[in-house]
Amino acid sequence: MEKRLTKEEFLKDLWHPNTEEPDKSKSDIITLGFDNDAYIQFKESILWKEESWRHSISRCQIIKWAYLSDILPKQEGGEQ
């Protein structure tokens, strides 16, 4: 029988610590910063083009991040 995750377990697995660098080939991420400020960073943004991940963490005070595609509900056929 398949185990269903609780909301807390799902959210815990969804967010990555800032020490883990996102895959830059992914289309977008959402970052959570100091005081729970949330920002969507798209692949085309300055975060990916001109800055290192370490610099972005410091400048934006990123504490954790997630792939936006993991947050959004899946549509039929597996596409978003």
| Count of domains observed in the chain | 1
Q: Quick one: pLDDT at residue 77?
A: 62
DSSP-assigned states of every residue in 28-75: EEEEEEGGG-EEEEETTSHHHHT--HHHHHHHHTEEEEEEHHHHSPPP
Within a domain: residue 80? no
- pTM score above 0.85: no
Per-residue pLDDT of the chain (80 residues; tens, 9 = 90+): 556 767 777 777 788 998 998 887 776 777 777 766 666 655 545 455 556 788 878 887 888 888 888 887 777 665 55
Write out the residue range of the structural domain in which residue 20 sits: 7-71
Q: pLDDT tens digits, residue range 38-54? A: 666 555 454 555 567 88
Q: Quick one: pLDDT at residue 44?
A: 47
